[in-house]
């Protein structure tokens, strides 16, 4: 039996340290499931594992793509499952770690299948977005799939500001003449592994304090300079990310630097709440306090075999 030990939880909770400890104990490798750590141009602002951490365990899908590439969750699902097949040939264990709920679900449950969309429709939707902005996409989804629009407004409102995903919703609705949501949850693909889900959590003040500290560390390590180098590409989807967006507004003269830093902290705290909401939906996840002894977590995993 192959087991995929999956570590989830809000940002800055300590998932990386736990994944390395479990990797060393079970002598297995780590698959990253953080949708921003894929990009090699983004290091400080995405809290990529440091060189010592990368050396302590073998990691995959860390800074393996460019922000200039169009890399979707479907692409990731195919590549990560292929890598898992390779890892399971020689090992009964692998570790999946990340705070990107959609990407975790794609690996554990499978991705929904959609019909091919006429490239002309995709081009037209993209052109309309460039002329009319994100409001055009929001209005299209609201009209063409009001049920799904309402769902993401409540459960994951940040999605409404994500141009790539909103364009995808719109092109599917227009191209198929059906609501996007009608293609969801039609079937789930079988997996050749059994997931063991571990969640890390803490009281909200502790999470918020850890986030504030992390942002301060990022600024000290050069996040401002990293964002400045990325500024010419600020419209790319990969850069519609907390920590970069706020500094782009500073470069645009919209924010002062102290205000931008406080906005990064505030928006990261909001993001952590959405992460917990997403991950708490899965009732099979076993939650541990972030300070829990590693041996306690290992004992739970070993009892789950």
If you write DSSP's letter for every residue of 204-267 in order, what string do you get?
HHHHHHHHHHHHHHHHHHTHHHHHHHHGGGTTSGGG-STTTHHHHHHHTTSS-HHHHHHHHHHH
Pairwise CA distance, residues 201 & 297, whole Å: 13
Q: What CATH number does the domain containing 39 carry?
A: 3.40.50.300
Examine the domain organization and report whether 93 and 131 are in the same domain.
no
Residues within the annotated binding site for ATP? Answer: 9-16
> At 74, is the pLDDT very low, low, confident or very high (cuts 50, 70, 90)?
confident
What confidence tens digit (pLDDT) does each residue in 174-187 have?
A: 999 999 999 887 66
Examine the domain organization and report whether 32 and 90 are in the same domain.
yes
Residues within the annotated binding site? Answer: 9-16
Number of domains in the chain: 2
Give the model's pLDDT for residue 187: 62
Q: What is the mean pLDDT of the segment spanning 283-300?
A: 97
Examine the domain organization and report whether 126 and 175 are in the same domain.
yes
Give the model's pLDDT for residue 153: 93
Residues within the annotated binding site for substrate? Answer: 11-16
Examine the domain organization and report whether 199 and 90 are in the same domain.
yes
What confidence tens digit (pLDDT) does each residue in 14-60 have?
A: 999 999 999 999 999 999 999 999 999 999 999 999 999 999 999 99
For residue 183, count other CB atoms closer than 10 A to its CB. 14
Domain encompassing residue 67:
3-111+189-220+279-303
Examine the domain organization and report whether 158 and 52 are in the same domain.
no
For residue 86, count other CB atoms closer than 10 A to its CB. 12
**51-68 CB burial, b ≥16 within 10 A, e <16:** eebbebbebbbbbebebe
What confidence tens digit (pLDDT) does each residue in 218-274 have?
A: 999 999 999 999 999 999 989 989 999 999 999 999 999 999 999 999 999 999 999
């Amino acid at each position: 039996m192959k087991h995929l030990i999956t570590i989830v939880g809000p940002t800055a909770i300590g998932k990386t340290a736990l994944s390395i400890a479990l990797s060393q104990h079970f002598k297995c490798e780590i698959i990253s499931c953080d949708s921003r750590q894929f990009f090699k141009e983004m290091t400080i602002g995405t809290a990529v594992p440091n060189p010592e951490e990368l050396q302590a365990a073998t990691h995959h899908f860390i800074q393996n793509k460019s922000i200039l590439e169009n890399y979707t969750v479907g692409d990731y699902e195919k590549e990560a499952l292929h890598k898992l097949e390779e890892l399971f040939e020689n090992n009964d264990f692998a570790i999946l770690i990340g705070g990107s709920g959609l990407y975790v679900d794609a690996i554990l449950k499978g991705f929904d299948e959609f019909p091919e969309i006429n490239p002309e429709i995709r081009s037209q939707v993209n052109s309309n977005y460039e002329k009319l902005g994100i409001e055009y996409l929001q209005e299209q989804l609201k009209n063409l799939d009001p049920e799904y629009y309402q769902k993401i407004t409540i459960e994951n409102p940040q999605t409404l500001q994500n141009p790539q995903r909103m364009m995808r919703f719109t092109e599917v609705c227009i191209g198929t003449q059906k609501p996007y949501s009608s293609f969801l949850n039609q079937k789930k693909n079988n997996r050749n592994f059994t997931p063991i889900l571990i969640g890390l959590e803490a009281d909200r003040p502790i999470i918020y304090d850890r986030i504030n500290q992390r942002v301060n560390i990022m600024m000290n390590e050069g996040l401002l300079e990293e964002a400045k180098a990325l500024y010419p590409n600020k419209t790319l989807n990969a850069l519609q990310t907390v920590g970069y967006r706020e500094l782009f507004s500073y470069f645009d003269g919209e924010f002062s630097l102290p205000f931008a830093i406080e906005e990064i902290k505030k928006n990261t705290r909001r993001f952590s709440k959405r992460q917990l909401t997403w991950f708490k939906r899965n009732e099979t996840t076993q939650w541990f306090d972030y300070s829990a002894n590693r041996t306690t977590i290992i004992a739970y995993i070993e009892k789950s075999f």
